[in-house]
Homo-oligomer: A and B are copies of this chain.
Amino acid sequence: MTSTPPAASASAPAAQPSAAAAALPADHPGVVELFALLAYGEVAAFYRLTEEARMAPNLRGRINMASMAAAEMNHYEVLRDELERRGVDVVPAMTRYASALENYHRLTTPSTWLEALVKTYVGDALAADFYLEIADAMPGAVADVVRSVLSETGHSQFVVAEVRSAVTASDRQRHRLALWSRRLLGEAITQAQYVMADHDELVDLVMSAGGLSQITEFFDRLQQTHSTRMQELGLA
């Protein structure tokens, strides 16, 4: 997941670490699962970005996509090291999350360069909102790892300029891309639910930490930060 600023922290106060979080052990089995899920997310995003870079109209666009992809692999390596430190082989651990993440990418394959840009920006920011919300409820050392692999790298800023300029020039593009980003939101939520349904340790982690106990508020915040990003892209 890249690299977009967690809009949540700017536009709405994130959940504070709960009393449950302080009590949550750093070796909770869900921690390994969370890292494995994030690790597969990084590798899947790497290959998705390099694939979508084929649609770039020029070398500069291809290079921007490659830089973002490289940042994903740097984050993957942090997660792999954390898993190794816990005696876990990253490859079999992350394979359990392959189907949900591959499904998300398969169901949201962009058909134009602008769709690819919007997906990069909005899709990854949604993932970051989701994980950072969970991180807020985790023990400090675990939260630090999650935050570092979702940290701002500044790579995606080129997306805003390019999308804004395209939708300013064409109402048709604006409507198309607004629908597209709504679809990204829907698929992300659907796949997140599948992941939770299939992985009890993860649900237990999130629930014991109290991170998503106020689930309605959480989805409200997600919608709100999504709207903020739509405005940034000129799609609101």
Residues of B near A43 (CB, < 8 A) are 59, 62-63, 66
Query: In the complex, A7 Cα to B70 Cα: how many Å?
Result: 27
Residues of B near A91 (CB, < 8 A) are 59-60, 63
Residue in contact with A50 in the complex, picked from B50, B60, B74, CB distance below 8 Å: B50
The verdict on A159 contacting chain B, using a C-beta distance below 8 Å, is no
Binary CB contact string for chain A from 68 to 110 against chain B (1 if under 8 A, 0 otherwise): 0110111011000000000000010011001000000000000
The verdict on A46 contacting chain B, using a C-beta distance below 8 Å, is yes
| A contacts with B: majority SS | helix
Interface residues of A in 1-60 (CB under 8 A from B): 43, 46-47, 50, 53, 59-60
Residues of B near A73 (CB, < 8 A) are 66-67, 69-70
Measured CB to CB, the closest approach of chain B to A46, in angstroms, equals 5
Residues of B near A60 (CB, < 8 A) are 91
Query: In the complex, A72 Cα to B50 Cα: how many Å?
Result: 14
Q: Are B47 and A47 in touch, CB under 8 angstroms?
A: no
Write the chain B residue with the least CB distance to A92: B59
Measured CB to CB, the closest approach of chain B to A22, in angstroms, equals 35
Write the chain B residue with the least CB distance to A70: B73
Residues of B near A94 (CB, < 8 A) are 59
Query: In the complex, A46 Cα to B60 Cα: how many Å?
Result: 14
Residue in contact with A77 in the complex, picked from B46, B50, B53, B67, CB distance below 8 Å: B67
Binary CB contact string for chain A from 125 to 163 against chain B (1 if under 8 A, 0 otherwise): 000000000000000000000000000000000000000
Measured CB to CB, the closest approach of chain B to A95, in angstroms, equals 6
Identify 28 residue pairs between A and B in the complex whose beta-carbon atoms are under 8 Å apart, listed by A's number.
A43-B59, A43-B62, A43-B63, A46-B66, A46-B70, A47-B50, A47-B53, A47-B62, A50-B50, A50-B69, A59-B91, A59-B94, A59-B95, A59-B98, A60-B91, A63-B76, A63-B91, A66-B73, A66-B76, A67-B76, A67-B77, A69-B69, A69-B70, A70-B70, A70-B72, A70-B73, A70-B74, A74-B74
Given A70-B73, A74-B74, 17 additional A-B pairs, CB 8 A: A43-B59, A43-B62, A43-B66, A46-B50, A46-B66, A47-B53, A47-B62, A47-B66, A50-B69, A59-B98, A66-B73, A67-B73, A67-B76, A67-B77, A69-B69, A69-B73, A70-B72
